[in-house]
Amino acid sequence: MAVHSGGWRESSTGIARVCGVKILYLHGWRSVPGGVKPGWLRSRGHDVCNPLLDADDLALAVRQAEAAYRDYRPDVVVGASRGGVIAQSLDCGETPRVLLCPAWKRWQPLRPLTGRVLILHSPQDEVVPWGDSAELIEQWGLSPDVLFSVGDDHRLGDEASLEVLQWACDVLAAGEQIPVADAEWSGRPRAASAAAEASYICDSCGEEIVIPVDVSEGESQVLVEDCPVCCRANTIHLHIGDDGGIFSSVES
C-alpha cells in the first residue's frame, strides 16, 4: 500500500472509502458530545453515536459506553485520550477500534488491548507523550505498523489528521487487513522481568507507581497499597499470565 497526502492509503482496489459506517465515538476527559472529530465523520456520510461519559468515575464511563455499544452496535469504536482508555476497556467482541492519543497511563484500562486496533498519535502531543503509545503497542505485542504519526498536537483537529481518522475507520469497517499481534503475544503483555514488577496509576493523585509482585502468590492477586506520593490507599488487582506477563487494574 502507498500512503497519500492526507493519510489515505491506496490498495489494488483504489483508495479505501466506505460510506455510512456506524461509529461509536468516545470523547475525552471533561469533554462533551460533539466537536470537530465526530462532526467531521458525520460530514463525510458516517453515522456517529457520541454519548456523554462521566468525567469522574472511569468504571461508570465504561458502563455508559457499553450501554451505548449494545444499543447502537457500531462497526468501529473510536476513543480519544481518556476515551481511548474507555474504548480499550469495552467488552466489544471483535469490533475494531481506533485510539486517538490514548491516555492509558493516566487512567488504567480495565481490559487488555486485543483485536484489530489502529492508534493515531502526534509526536508533538503536549498532553499524552508519543512514547506512551509506542510503549502500549510493545506491551501488548502489537505491530509497530498500527501506530500512525499524525498532527501536531493532542487534539488532532487539523484536516490532515481528520482525513487519517476517516481512513482508519473506513479500512477497519471494510475488513481490510491490518498488522496484527504475533500469535505468541496476542492479547498478552510482554513477559515480566525477573524482578517481577507491575505498575498502577494512583486513583487519587494520578501518579504511576511501580510495585514488586510475588508471582508465587498465584495468578490472580488483590493488593492494598498506600500511594507513596499522596498516601491514599489503592486496591490493585493483578493477573499473571502463563508467560509471566502481568496486567494490573485499580479498583475505583
- Asked if residues 74 and 23 have their Cβ atoms less than 8 Å apart, the reply is yes
More confident residue, 50 or 230: 50
**pLDDT computed for residue 248 by the predictor:** 78
Those residues whose C-beta lies under 8 Å from the C-beta of residue 109, and which sit 6 or more positions away, are 85, 88, 89, 249
Instruction: State the burial class of residue 238 (Cβ atoms within 10 Å of its Cβ: 0-12, 13-18, 19+).
Output: buried
DSSP state of 145: G
Domains, the chain, in order of start with CATH, read: 2-173 (3.40.50.1820), 197-251 (no CATH)
Residue 153 has pLDDT above 60, yes or no: yes
Q: What is the pLDDT of residues 56-96, one digit of tens each?
A: 999 999 999 999 999 999 999 999 999 999 999 998 889 99
The residue among 151, 155, 27, 21 whose CA lies nearest residue 85 is 27
DSSP state of 158: S
Average pLDDT, the chain: 82
Residue 108 has pLDDT above 50, yes or no: yes
**pLDDT computed for residue 13 by the predictor:** 35
What separation in angstroms does the CA of 204 have from each of 60, 106, 233? 16, 11, 9
Cβ atoms within 10 Å of 1's Cβ, excluding its own: 12
**pLDDT computed for residue 197 by the predictor:** 76
Residue 114 has pLDDT above 80, yes or no: yes
Mean pLDDT of 50-56: 94
Mean pLDDT of 161-186: 73
**pLDDT computed for residue 15 by the predictor:** 39
DSSP state of 189: P
